[in-house]
Amino acid sequence: MNFIEFRETFYPLACFSIDQIYSAYPQFGRTNLTRWIRKGYIERLRQGYYTFPDYKSKRDFSLYFANRIYKPSYISLHTALSFYGIIPEGVSQITSITSLKTASFKNLFGDYSYKNVKEDLMFGYELKKMDENRSLMFATPEKALWDLLYLYPFYNSEKEMEELRLDEHYMREDLNVEMLISYNERFRSKALDRRTRLLQKVYDL
């Protein structure tokens, strides 16, 4: 197998799987992957998923790969909250929600963390356009915050809510509180209702 031909075939995909390789080249020798990874020609994102190292210099592809290497999933929680400016600090992990089991992966492009929810809670995300006519599955601000309250039940006191250090201007001026509350109707939980009310009290919503 000629690497130049291989690259021309798969480079436009950005992220490609071993199944896609065998679909295009049924006689492909897997030892090629081992050799090309060792030489730095391609990068393994997780078992069975690959890319090319020069995508490291392209904007947003670390996020794009989050959607691609573990499906279905959408970016949420701390990554989304930081993106919207709701939490002040940057985050080192790329955090996502999935209906698959909880998982994590580490590669050249970052640390990827996936939190499990029931399939009927896989909502509240939208497609965000990025370069090269691609898009990201990304939680809305309200769903990213709701996912946090749902998955991290220790935010159950005023002190814990305050330590989130959510941006008060964003919370009061931009957050759709009615939408956040409406999400609770899909998951009837007194504990979650209580955390939502506590959030409203602490941030004067």
What are the boundaries of each domain within the chain?
Answer: 3-57, 61-202
Q: What CATH number belongs to 61-202?
A: 3.30.460
Q: Are strands 73-75 and 93-98 parallel, antiparallel or unpaired?
A: antiparallel
- Pull the structure tokens for residue 61: 């592809």
Three-state secondary-structure class, residue 74: strand
pLDDT score of 35:
96
Q: Cα–Cα distance between 86 and 72 in angstroms, integer? A: 25
Q: What single-letter DSSP state applies at residue 15?
A: S
Its pTM stands at: 0.92
Contacts of 177 (CB under 8 A, 6+ apart): 200, 205
Question: What is the pLDDT at residue 19?
Answer: 97
φ, ψ of residue 17 in degrees (nearest 5): -110, 165
Q: By C-alpha distance, which of 138, 150, 141, 140 is closest to 187?
A: 150
**90-119 as b/e, with b when 16 or more CB fall inside 10 Å?**
ebeebbbbbeeeebebebebbebbbbebee
CA distance 128 to 66: 14
Q: Are 117 and 150 contacting, i.e. CB atoms less than 8 angstroms apart?
A: yes
pLDDT along the chain (205 residues), means of 10: 94 97 94 96 97 95 97 97 89 94 97 96 95 93 96 90 92 93 84 92 91
Query: Token pair of 170, please?
Result: 């964003």
What local confidence, expressed as pLDDT, does residue 187 receive? 80
